[in-house]
Amino acid sequence: MDPKVMSTIAGEIARTLQAEGNVRTVFGEPVMLDSHKIIPVSAVLIDIGGGGAYSAPPASGDKGLVSRVKRMIPTGVGGGFAMDVRVVPVGYLREDDGRVEFCPIALPVEILASKKH
């Protein structure tokens, strides 16, 4: 693959992770609830995938069934890339008299597994 294309893809991944997967995304702004300070906590889930293929024409001297089939298939190069970033709430930090406690929240498995909510 062209190094410029790889550099562009790597740059886009870095920008997305910086924008979506930073500390402010994982730990939200503190909120006062009664006399307790509450800090929301999230998980950043990242799915990355890609692939490609190359199809070469048969050698000019090739004869036979395989060669005839290869001539029917278009030749060329193809590829693709996808990235999905999701932020899912997992709990909160609760401060009480100088002690900090993590309080998890129950989430249905469907929310963690789904691509769209």
Query: Comparing 16-20, 50-54, 87-91, which segment has the lowest mean pLDDT?
Result: 16-20
Average pLDDT over residues 12-34: 79
Residue 22 lies in a domain: yes
**CA–CA distance, 85 with 2 (Å, rounded to integer):** 25
Residue 73 lies in a domain: no
Residue 57 CB neighbour total at 10 angstroms: 13
Residue 38 domain-assigned (yes or no): yes
pLDDT at 115 over 60: no
pLDDT, tens digit, for every residue of 65-108?
777 776 677 677 777 878 787 888 899 999 888 899 999 988 76
Q: Is residue 99 part of a domain?
A: yes
Separation of alpha carbons 42 and 94, rounded Å: 14
Q: Containing domain of residue 34, as a range?
A: 3-49+81-113
Quote the number of domains for the chain.
1
Identity of the amino acid at 39: I
**54 within domain boundaries:** no
- Residue 10 in any domain: the answer is yes
Give the 3-state secondary structure of residue 76.
Answer: strand
